[in-house]
Structure 1
Amino acid sequence: MLELVTDLAVTLGYAAIGIVLMAIGAALVDVATPGSLRHLIWTDRNANAAILLASNLVAVGTITVTAIVASDGDFVKGIASTVGYGLVGLLVMTVAFIVVDMATPGKLGALLVHPEPHPAVWITAAVHLAVGAIIAAAIL
């Protein structure tokens, strides 16, 4: 029974770190785009903003899962690598966003939350997912 309680506590620890990393990712996306991301998605039902945020969350989740798996049951190593690689992933996604923004006419953030579907959101989503996969591969 003690092992079950320990495993549940470890699971809650990883979940808490994952939620914090996803919240940081969401905050970074919110800063990069004009207006309130929350309002754009839940009130305006802006699909571009939702795709952008969803791709960020999946990328962070991929990094988190990989860091946990790579920890081989060592909780301290797992927490440290999850936080470290998660933050590195968020940093790289931010830099990638800036690079794509520099290569794009206009302001990328404004394009990505335009009310009409915009193909730039798919490029940016692919960049998020690719960064998540790259960081995950680096962990392994």
Structure 2
Amino acid sequence: MIEDFSGAVVGAAAYSAVGIVLMVLGYLVTDWLTPGKLGELIWTERNKNAAILLTSNVLGVGLIVVGAIWASEGGLLRGLASTFVFGVIGLAAMAFAFLILDWLTPGKLGDILTSEEHQPAVWVNAAMHLALGGVIAMALS
């Protein structure tokens, strides 16, 4: 019983670490795709558009991580590796979708999302992040 508990604790800590790494990568990708620095835009300038975009990215990545953990089979290391790989694939898909949406819509999404005035286009991008995270999560299960 103690071995089961300690194994569960190690697994939870390891999957948490992978999830945190993927969310940090998601932050960095989002920061890279948008003009300005997200940290400064959100915490210093209190930009709502940037906050909505980053929030949707974190939630989308979280959905992907949950789906990848749910679908993982085999031992802990194999599960962690598949979670990380599927998470990176999800981040790439989200970045690609951002670029496609930017190409299909008027204006530059990065500029719109970092605008000081509220922009409805940020909700479209946020919905895309969440929907794509859900699609990828379900594709894994």
1:1-140 to 2 correspondences below 5 Å: 1-71=2-72, 74-140=75-141
Alignment: residue pair count: 140
Deviations 1:103-123 (A, max 9, x none): 122211010111111011000
Q: Could you tell me how far apart the structure 1 residues matched to 2:75 and 2:122 are?
A: 38
Q: Could you tell me how far apart the structure 2 residues matched to 1:29 and 1:69 are?
A: 25
Q: The residue matched to 1:116 in structure 2 has which SS?
A: coil
Amino acid at match of 2:10: A
Cα distance, 1:24–1:18 mapped onto 2, change above 3 Å:
same
Structure 2: 5+ residue runs without aligned partners?
none
Deviations 1:4-57 (A, max 9, x none): 222111111100000000001000111111111001100111111001001000
Q: CA deviation at 1:71?
A: 2.2
Structure 1: 5+ residue runs without aligned partners?
none
Q: Could you tell me how far apart the structure 2 residues matched to 1:103 and 1:42 are?
A: 30
Q: Could you tell me how far apart the structure 2 residues matched to 1:110 and 1:37 are?
A: 12
Q: CA RMSD in A?
A: 1.2
Q: Could you tell me how far apart the structure 1 residues matched to 2:76 and 2:69 are?
A: 9
Q: Could you tell me how far apart the structure 1 residues matched to 2:126 and 2:118 are?
A: 13
Q: CA deviation at 1:77?
A: 3.2
Q: CA deviation at 1:72?
A: 5.2
Amino acid at match of 2:22: L
Compute the TM-score of the two structures, normalised by the length of structure 2. 0.94
Q: The residue matched to 2:129 in structure 1 has which SS?
A: helix
User: In percent, how many aligned pairs have the same letter?
Assistant: 49
Q: The residue matched to 1:26 in structure 2 has which SS?
A: helix
Q: CA deviation at 1:2?
A: 2.5
Compute the TM-score of the two structures, normalised by the length of structure 1. 0.95
Q: CA deviation at 1:73?
A: 7.0
